[in-house]
Copies of this chain bind each other. A is one copy, B any other.
Amino acid sequence: MADELLPQPDTADIELVKVLHALGDPVRLRLLAIYADGAEHTCDPRGLGLEQLHKSTVSHHMRVLREAGITSTRSAGRNRFVRLRCDDLDARFPGLLDALLRSLER
C-alpha cells in the first residue's frame, strides 16, 4: 500500500490541555526530546532508547501523542514514521514548543 497519513487533529483543533496532558508523562516527554530533531523516527523501542518498554506500550504512547496533535505519523510499508508537528504547533501556540524543548535540556 502507498504511503498514508494516519488520522490526526486539524491544527485549529489542537487543544492546549490535551497537549499538556499528553506531555505530562515521563515516557512521552522523553519521546518529545527524541523527536526534537524534527526528523522522522520509527516506532521500534530499540533505537529510541526505550528497550525497557514493551512495543505495545510504546505504540500506546505514540497514539496519545498523535491524537493530541503533537506528532504526525506516516505509514510506509511495514514501517511507520513519526515526526513532530513543529509548524502546526507553532502556528497554534506560538513559542510554546520552543520553550518546551529548551526546558527539556535542563
Residues of A within 8 A of B (CB): 16-18, 20-26, 29, 92-96, 98-100, 102-104, 106
Contact = CB atoms under 8 A, between A and B. Distances in A.
Q: How many copies does the complex hold?
A: 2
Contact of A95 (B17, B92, B102): B102
A52 to B, nearest CB: 17
Nearest to A27: B17
A24 B26 contact: no
Nearest to A30: B17
A17 B23 CA distance: 7
A15 to B, nearest CB: 9
17 contacts: A16-B103, A16-B106, A17-B24, A17-B26, A17-B29, A18-B24, A20-B24, A22-B24, A24-B24, A93-B102, A93-B103, A94-B102, A95-B95, A95-B98, A95-B102, A98-B99, A99-B99
